[in-house]
Amino acid sequence: MIAKVVINLWNWMNRQGFPCLFRSLTGLYCPGCGGTRAFWYLLHGQIGKSLYYHPLVPYMAAVLAAEGMLWLRARKKGRREELRRPYEKEVYVGMVIALVNWAVKNWVLVVWGRHLIP
């Protein structure tokens, strides 16, 4: 009985997605709303839709890919000092992307009453 309930709940969550507690309580988008869909679309090669749902996801994928290539190059050349560089700029750019995305989506929702993420 319990296994059937868990399986049904799991199937429902996979169809519906995980509900956002912030959005459920306030009616507004949280700074991460759309991130799961953006990640899914990015994995399926739909970069435009990924950017639409949450631009931070493709940005972070690009940053991780670039950093991975730089790390491999530095390791191959034996430059250990290049392996320990600060990532402050990338973090600040990511924070700005997330905040602007959050502000724009909520502005469109509040002012025009239009949901950008159904």
Nearest to 56 by CA among 79, 76, 31, 80: 31
92's tokens: 């600040």
Higher pLDDT, 25 or 6: 25
What per-residue confidence (pLDDT) applies to 86? 77
pLDDT digits (tens, 9 = 90+) for 29-86: 999 989 988 998 999 999 999 999 999 999 999 999 998 888 888 888 877 666 667 7
CA distances from 52 to 37, 65, 98, 116 (A): 10, 20, 12, 9
Domain residue spans of the chain: 55-87
Q: Within 10 Å of residue 11's Cβ, how many Cβ atoms?
A: 10
pLDDT of residue 76: 84
pLDDT class for 15, splitting at 50, 70, 90?
Answer: low
Contact (Cβ atoms closer than 8 angstroms) between residue 84 and residue 50: no
